[in-house]
């Protein structure tokens, strides 16, 4: 189940949401590690979960706005801007 949740995070469009989904998957892996008494699984996923949650909080605090396709000239790349 944890692998399925983590894999599903790649289909999430918003980066902050993706990181929260990844943190949730790490939580599932931590639970699995606790049930098996597998310290390496627990420690590795604590690291992953904390980093995913931290980056989601830091990124989420900025208001990033992408220009829409209609407002940019043809051939010009998308560039996120801070508002």
Residue 53 tokens read as 């949650």
pLDDT at res. 76: 60
pLDDT at res. 82: 54
Has this prediction a pTM greater than 0.75? no
How many residues are given for the chain?
83
Domain range spanning residue 42? 2-82
DSSP 6-69: HHHGGG-SSHHHHHHHHHHHHHHHHHHHHHHT-HHHHHHHHHHHHHHHHHHHHHHTS-EEPPPG
What DSSP designation does 72 have? Answer: S
As for how many domains the chain has, the answer is 1
List the chain pLDDT tens, one digit each, 83 residues: 888 887 888 888 888 888 999 999 999 999 999 999 999 999 999 999 999 999 888 865 454 555 455 565 666 666 655 54
pLDDT at res. 26: 95
């Amino acid at each position: 189940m944890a692998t399925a949740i983590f894999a599903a995070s790649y289909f999430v469009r918003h980066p902050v949401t993706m990181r929260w989904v990844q943190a949730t998957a790490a939580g599932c892996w931590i639970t699995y590690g606790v049930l098996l008494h597998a310290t390496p699984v627990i420690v590795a996923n604590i690291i992953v979960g904390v980093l995913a949650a931290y980056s989601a909080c830091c990124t989420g605090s900025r208001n990033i706005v992408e220009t829409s396709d209609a407002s940019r000239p043809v051939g010009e790349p998308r560039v996120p801007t801070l508002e």
